[in-house]
Amino acid sequence: MSSQQREKIGFIGLGRMGRPMASNLHKKGFELLVYDPNPAAVDALRQLGARAAPDIAQVARGSDIIITMVPASADVEAIVLGPDGLLAHGHAGQLILDMSTVDPATTDLIARRAAARGVCVVDAPVGRLAAHADRGESLFMVGAEKADFERVLPLLQAMGTTIFHCGKVGSGTRTKLVNNYFVVVYCQLNAEALALAQSFGLDLDKTLEVINGTSAYNGQLQLNWANKVLIGDITPGFMIDLAHKDLSLILNAANAAKVPLPVAAAAREMFTLARTTRYGKADFSAMGDFLCELAGVEKPRISRESRG
């Protein structure tokens, strides 16, 4: 076992993305101490052989590297900076690896506070979907000093297949927001375009063949949508609620940088509208179904032959 694998790893946040990532770490031989407020999530990892911590403070006391994978900026700040958090109960020489998608200001804040305690911070938000996390095929956008990047690299390699060192601390988070700007806005564009195609009565298979053969091609439509909403599956891999959260992060960061993003603002309003319906917890590709319902046209579905 390598020296990195002898380090004790804490993992906080065992949701739809965090649980398979922690599972893959355990399968690759890393010693894990896990915590989540959901006892069932913790029990699933304990059955694999991981140790369970009763609280965040215990993770801090018993780990060399602590991974956080939680939904929002406020969660990360509470976990790291709170009175019962990682910095209050940790020690110099530790490293916090935050894989959450958060406001860049949050990453900057925890990095400053951690440095004052002799603790390093690496931000490594995740690209790709939950299904990729299941298979250990995630993509990571990493912000870190060189030595810290090398320290966490074996962990990232155990959870994913594609790793980009984007620059100093905070650059991973900022890269993720740029990436998700494209990802989420493409969903809105695809929804509008396919609703228009449905209203024209076009053959959807042929229309998609044309789109995928021109510069209108986008990975969301050809890869994600073809395996989700276009075959009637809107079970969440990445929820509309979370896509809305990311658009809000993008707009907040853009406002702070004085960069106008009118397209993002318009897209967020449509995601806001979708959240008022049953679609909030659906996969974000379900924007296709939602917009067709608004337009009163048939939902887009590809043929069995196209699925093959």
pLDDT digits (tens, 9 = 90+) for 80-114: 999 999 999 999 999 999 999 999 999 999 999 99
Confidence of residue 37 (pLDDT cuts 50, 70, 90): very high
8 three-state secondary structure: coil
Among 8, 28, 146, 176, the one annotated catalytic: 176
Tokens of 120: 């390093």
What was the pLDDT predicted at 3?
45
Rounded to whole angstroms, the Cα distance separating 68 from 276 reads 30
What was the pLDDT predicted at 6?
82
Helices marked H in the chain: 3-6, 18-27, 39-48, 56-61, 73-81, 86-89, 104-116, 130-134, 146-159, 171-200, 204-211, 219, 226-227, 240-256, 262-275, 287-295, 304-307
Please check the confidence at residue 169 and state whether its pLDDT lies above 80.
yes
**For 110-137, how does the pLDDT look when each residue is reduced to its tens digit (9 = 90+)?**
999 999 999 999 999 999 888 899 999 9
Please check the confidence at residue 264 and state whether its pLDDT lies above 50.
yes
3-172: CATH topology: Rossmann fold (3.40.50)
183 three-state secondary structure: helix
What was the pLDDT predicted at 304?
72
Active site residue 176: yes
Please check the confidence at residue 254 and state whether its pLDDT lies above 90.
yes
**For 229-250, how does the pLDDT look when each residue is reduced to its tens digit (9 = 90+)?**
999 999 998 999 999 999 999 9
Please report, for the chain, the start and end positions of each structural domain, with discontinuous segments joined by +: 3-172, 179-307
Structural domain 179-307, CATH architecture: Orthogonal Bundle (1.10)
Please check the confidence at residue 267 and state whether its pLDDT lies above 80.
yes
Type of residue at 236: P
Please check the confidence at residue 196 and state whether its pLDDT lies above 70.
yes
167 CB neighbour count, 10 Å cutoff:
15
Percent of the chain with pLDDT over 70: 97
